[in-house]
Amino acid sequence: MSYTLQQTINWAQTYVQYIPLTAGTGNEPAISIGNTVQSTILNAPFVWPFNRNEFPIVLVTGQQDYVFDVTDFAYLEKVSLLSADGSDGFEVKDVYNTNILGLAATGSTAQPNAVAVKLYTPDTSIALRFLSNPDQAYTGTLTYQVIVDPFTALDDPWAPIPDSFIDIFNNLFLAEVMAVADDAREQLYRQRGIAALLSKAEGLTEMQRNVYLAQYLARGSSMTLAAQLRTQQAIQARGL
């Protein structure tokens, strides 16, 4: 049985004097905190086998743009192509999810070495642009991460995130709760959660790890600093 959001709430409350986390409309702030943590784990740059899907494609000689009926798309991992006669298989070298590629010269063709997500219509389709225009017909496979439904109820499971990631989502959830409560331990649990996340993630360069770690922890540091400033201002206002 998958670990649920309610179980995480029950655990987190023991660290913060059982402050109400579901007293707001729509069980807020617990629902939004859960969705924030879920998004952190499942969004780029992280890729996970439990959240992966594939879609077969066909490319046409000289055609640069394509629309595919992918309804559960989150972001593209890679594109693998195979020549028409099956003699040449390769992976498209450069994959862009937010940057767009330019138009290739009319009539020019070559083996595609880059692909970009041109447009995305949620629950409907994705449009991809290849560079260069394919020099022959190719069959291939899109490998992508799946969009996940957000939490809407307290008994929703963390799935597809496996229970073995409890050291990640529980610690990150508690860190966000402590941030709301102005608890100084927030940064400690944020560090624990991110350290566990990075230890399980494969394929990241050292630069990607360092950039992500710095950005995520800076968010916590800025929140902690803001809390300290509020305390200082309150003391000054009382003339202490």
Q: 54 and 113, same structural domain? A: yes
Q: What is the pLDDT of residue 229?
A: 43
The rounded distance, in Å, linking the Cα atoms of 35 and 55 is 27
In this prediction, residue 1 carries a pLDDT of 59
Q: Is 38 in contact with 148 (CB distance < 8 Å)?
A: yes
Is it the case that residue 213 has pLDDT exceeding 90? Answer: no
Q: What is the pLDDT of residues 145-193, one digit of tens each?
A: 999 999 999 999 999 999 999 999 999 999 999 999 999 999 999 999 9
Q: Examine the domain organization and report whether 58 and 134 are in the same domain.
A: yes
Give the pLDDT of residue 186. Answer: 93
Each residue of 47-75: pLDDT tens digit?
A: 999 999 999 999 999 999 999 999 999 99
Half-sphere exposure of 19 (CA within 13 A, CB side): 16
91 & 63 share domain: yes
- Number of structural domains the chain divides into: 2
Residue 33 shares a structural domain with residue 54: no
Range of the domain at 31: 5-46+152-238
* Chosen domain end from 91, 115, 146: 146
Which tens digit of pLDDT belongs to each residue from 11-61?
Answer: 999 999 999 999 999 999 999 999 999 999 999 899 999 999 999 999 999
DSSP 3-state of 238? helix
**Of 146, 169, 191, the domain-final residue:** 146
As a whole number of angstroms, the distance between CA 92 and CA 127 comes to 16
Residue 188 sits in the same domain as residue 208 = yes
- pTM score, whole prediction: 0.86
pLDDT value at residue 239? 53
Q: If pLDDT is split at 50, 70 and 90, which confidence band does 86 have? A: confident
Rounded to whole angstroms, how far apart are CA atoms 149 and 159?
Answer: 10
From its phi and psi, is residue 239 left (phi > 0), alpha (psi between -120 and 50) or beta?
Answer: left
Q: What is the pLDDT of residues 114-156, one digit of tens each?
A: 999 999 999 999 999 999 999 999 999 999 999 999 999 999 9
The residue from 131, 146, 161 where one domain ends is: 146
Structure token digits, residue 194: 């991110």
